[in-house]
Amino acid sequence: MGACPLAAGHPCACHGMPVGAAPQPPCAGGGVTGAGIAARGICFRHAGGWSLGPVDMVAPAGTVTALIGPNGAGKTTLLRVLAGLLRPAAGEVMLDGSGEVDRERLARQVAFAPTEPAFPDGTTAADLLHLRGNLCRCDRAELEATKERLRALLGQPLTVRPSRLSRGQRLHLALGLTLLGGPRFIVADEPWSGLDPMAMEEVLSTLGERARAGAAVVVSSHDLYQLPLIATRYLFLVGGRVQVAGNLDELRNLAASPSDEPAAVLKELYRHLVKG
């Protein structure tokens, strides 16, 4: 793949942070060989021009990494590149430190939950569960447990067609399908957006459990209050580039916020990066 023209001299630093602030945590990227999913030098071009990159990032196994940024920052594009759904113009996605992973392998091994799921016409929730179960070769016990959980969450029999479900119910179905087979790499685009509080709690709990079981989880969200409940690492994507990356303690050292509350720290950094 060709070199990204945006890469020349690109900074990873948080521009214009207050004088006296601690050094910014590095944009986690090249050279990482540990378990998890990583991007190195990723660039993507839409029809209108370059929209992402260069991006270096790491989402370690056993953690939830939060992707934060304004609309149009490139979050969904980055997630789709990580999942093998989009081909980058430059750079590579790495799984467990292995570089040059082709899109077919990414699509097989990285589970992707979109913010607006689409389902084939004429299928039922049960059809989709059996199809996904066969594809990922999940065992019968896991499939039955997923069915029971979805029946409770949807409040409907699994003979229902997705087109008859609300958006929140479709998100539950999509996430249930995504997590079948116990994927080790999970990327989710605003997975609890628009859900009621109880449904949101279920999604947060499920993603947190998967991370504790060893999966590398990447989620995008605008919800700065819920993210700290599960995330241990944060990436701020602004203008198609990672401007700040680090854990909450590292971000506290950068934020000019009088509060130690996680949401306040994230909000202050967000405000500074987006508005200056």
Amino acid in the structure at residue 19: V
Walk along the chain (276 residues) and give the pLDDT tens digit of each residue: 555 655 544 434 333 333 233 334 444 433 445 799 999 999 998 887 768 989 999 999 999 999 999 999 999 999 999 999 999 999 999 999 887 777 788 888 899 999 999 999 999 999 999 999 988 888 899 999 999 999 998 999 999 999 999 988 999 999 999 999 999 999 999 999 888 898 899 999 999 999 999 999 999 999 999 999 999 999 999 999 999 999 999 999 888 777 889 999 999 999 999 987
Domain boundaries, the chain: 36-275
* Residue labelled with tokens 């989009």: 86
- pTM, two decimals, is 0.86
**What's the CA dihedral at 79, 85, 90, 93 to 10 degrees?**
60
Residue-level length of the chain: 276
At residue 31, the pLDDT reads 42
- Which CATH code fits 36-275? 3.40.50.300
